[in-house]
Structure 1
Amino acid sequence: MSNKALEICTLFAGPSLQGIDSQLLCSDGLVIRPPIKRGDVERLVAQSSPSNLAIVDGVFHAHPAVGHAEILDALAAGWRIWGLSSMGAIRACEMDTLGMTGFGEVYRKFASDPDMSDDEVTLIHQSQEPFLSLSEPLIHIRKFLSEWVAVQIITPEQEQHLLHYLKNMWYGHRTLNCLKDALQALPVAAEIIDSALANFSIYRIKNLDLIDFLKLQPWTRTVK
């Protein structure tokens, strides 16, 4: 891989970009593309010299999801590929022994818990830029509820009841308004609920993983 290629990273992302400082997206050599779908990696490899690729968000309904075979072909061709936050974290967990590199808390959760399902990171979002999220991934809500248990706002039993309720719901219906309605059924003051939901971005680990990735810029590091 040439030094010039080392400086380029094509990053497939959409809703995980929400709320990210635009300055982080202005790095030289960083190319932002929409959420990945089947065939995107194959086309990129056919059109470009081996370089760096980061898979963050992906689609799976309107188009087939990014395939394992095309990722393997890209790795074999000399590309460095990271997976994080959402679809990327799932693929990295599945392929981290085959050369793909996982990054961030979401990836670590999938790698350490065989019972983690794809549904944890799934959401609905706008079909066009800026791909704003229209629902909240369960993994974010799980993080939030875990924190509330830790500070004893809710009990572990209440946490499990809420998670069971949300887990059995279609992911598109998991919104902050839905969560608020569920929390209001508990003996928790309204102002505590409102304050927590107004600052919910601190629990959005998909977005936080991407922020860390953009700050660290691992694609600029020399290949060993």
Structure 2
Amino acid sequence: MSNKALEACTLFAGPSLQGIDHQLLCSSSLILRPPVKRGDIERLVTQSPPSNLAIVDGVFHTHPAVGHSEILNALGSGWRIWGLSSMGAIRACEMDTLGMTGFGEVYRQFASDPDMSDDEVTLIHQAQEPFLSLSEPLIHIRKFLRQWAIEQIITPAQEQHILHHLKNMWYGHRTLSCLKKALLALPVAAKQIDSALENFSAYRIKSLDLIDFLKLQPWTRTEK
């Protein structure tokens, strides 16, 4: 891999970019692409010399999801590939013994819990740029409820009741409005709920993982 290729990174991302400081995306070494779908990596490998790529977000409903074989072929061709936040974290967990590198808290959760469902990170989003999220991933809501249980704002039983309710719901219906409705059924002040949900970005670990990745820029480091 040439020095120029070593410095560049193609990043497949969409809704996880929401709320991220634009300055983090201004690096000359970063090539931003939409959420990855089947065939995107195969085309990239065919058209470009070996370099770095990171899978963050990916589609699976409107198009087939990015395939394991195209990732494996890219790795075999000399590409360095990271996976994080969403679809990337899932694929990295499935392929970390084959050369793909996982990054961030979402990846670590998948790697440490073999029973963790892909449904945890699934959401619906706008079909076109800026790919704004139209629902909230369960993994974010789970982190929020866990913190509230730790702070004894809600009980562990109430935490599990809400999670069970949302887990059995289609992922596209999981929104902060839906969460608020569930919380309002509990003896919690409406103002406290509103204040917490206004600052919900603190629980969006998919985006927080991406922020860390963009700050660390691991693709600029010496090859393994």
TM-score bucket of the superposed structures, by smaller chain? over 0.9
Question: What pairs up with 1:21-36 in 2 under 5 angstroms?
Answer: 21-36=21-36
**Equivalence for 2:54:** 54
Letter in 2 for 1:31: I
**Equivalence for 1:111:** 111
CA distance in 2, matches of 1:54, 1:108: 16
SS of the equivalent of 2:142 reads helix
State the Cα distance separating 1:28 from its structure 2 match.
1.5
CA distance in 1, matches of 2:143, 2:113: 15
State the Cα distance separating 1:216 from its structure 2 match.
0.2
Question: What pairs up with 1:1-224 in 2 under 5 angstroms?
Answer: 1-224=1-224
SS of the equivalent of 2:180 reads helix
**Deviations along 1:119-146, whole A, 9 cap, x unmatched?**
0000000000000000000000000000
Letter in 2 for 1:82: W
Letter in 1 for 2:52: N
CA distance in 1, matches of 2:112, 2:83: 15
State the Cα distance separating 1:59 from its structure 2 match.
0.2
Determine if contact 1:52/1:219 at 8 Å carries over to the other structure: yes
Long gaps (5+) in structure 2: none
**Deviations along 1:33-86, whole A, 9 cap, x unmatched?**
000000000000000000000000000011000000000000000000000000
Letter in 2 for 1:153: I
4+ residue runs over 3 A deviation: none
TM-score normalized by the length of structure 1:
0.99
SS of the equivalent of 2:107 reads helix
Percent identical residues: 85
**Deviations along 1:168-203, whole A, 9 cap, x unmatched?**
000000000000000000000111100000000000
State the Cα distance separating 1:29 from its structure 2 match.
1.4
CA distance in 1, matches of 2:58, 2:15: 10
Letter in 2 for 1:76: G
SS of the equivalent of 1:42 reads helix
Determine if contact 1:39/1:66 at 8 Å carries over to the other structure: yes
SS of the equivalent of 2:162 reads helix
Determine if contact 1:10/1:32 at 8 Å carries over to the other structure: yes
Determine if contact 1:90/1:110 at 8 Å carries over to the other structure: yes
Aligned alpha-carbon RMSD (Å): 0.4
TM-score normalized by the length of structure 2:
0.99
CA distance in 2, matches of 1:197, 1:160: 19
Letter in 1 for 2:181: D
CA distance in 2, matches of 1:37, 1:209: 21
Letter in 2 for 1:83: G
SS of the equivalent of 1:54 reads strand
How many residues align structurally?
Answer: 224
SS of the equivalent of 1:59 reads coil
CA distance in 1, matches of 2:139, 2:184: 20
State the Cα distance separating 1:115 from its structure 2 match.
1.1
State the Cα distance separating 1:156 from its structure 2 match.
0.5
SS of the equivalent of 2:10 reads strand
CA distance in 2, matches of 1:31, 1:98: 24
CA distance in 2, matches of 1:38, 1:60: 9
CA distance in 1, matches of 2:111, 2:76: 23
